[in-house]
Amino acid sequence: MIKVFIIDDHKMVIDGLQLILQPEKEIAVVGVATHGEEAIEKIKKGNVDVILLDINMPGINGIDTCKRLLELDKTLKIIAISMHSESSLIKMMLNNGAKGYILKNAGQDEVINAINKVYEGKMYLDKEVNEIVLNSIANNSRKTSNPFPTLSRREKEVLCLILDEYTTQEIATKLHISFGTVETHRRNMLIKVGARNTAGLVKIALEYELNK
137 has pLDDT over 80: no
pLDDT tens, residue by residue, 156-170: 999 999 988 899 999
Average pLDDT over residues 185-205: 85
Q: What span, in angstroms and rounded, lies between the C-alpha atoms of 149 and 135?
A: 14
pLDDT tens, residue by residue, 67-76: 999 999 999 9
β-sheet with 27-33: strand ranges across: 27-33, 2-7, 50-53, 77-82, 100-103, 124-125
Fold designation for 2-138: Rossmann fold (3.40.50)
Q: What span, in angstroms and rounded, lies between the C-alpha atoms of 58 and 39?
A: 12
Q: What span, in angstroms and rounded, lies between the C-alpha atoms of 85 and 105?
A: 11
Q: Tell me which of 83 and 144 has the higher pLDDT.
A: 83
Neighbours of 6 (CB within 10 A): 24
pTM reported for the whole predicted model = 0.71
Residue 190 binned pLDDT confidence (cut-offs 50, 70, 90): confident
CATH class of the domain at 153-208: mainly alpha
| The pLDDT of residue 178 | 93
Average pLDDT over residues 120-142: 74
Average pLDDT over residues 81-101: 86
Instruction: Give the largest Cα separation in the chain, rounded.
Output: 55
| Cβ-Cβ contacts under 8 Å for 41 (sequence gap 6 or more) | none
Average pLDDT, the chain: 87
Please state the domain extents for the chain.
Answer: 2-138, 153-208
SS3 22: coil
Torsion angle defined by CA atoms of residues 109, 9, 134 and 201, in that order, rounded to the nearest 10 degrees:
180
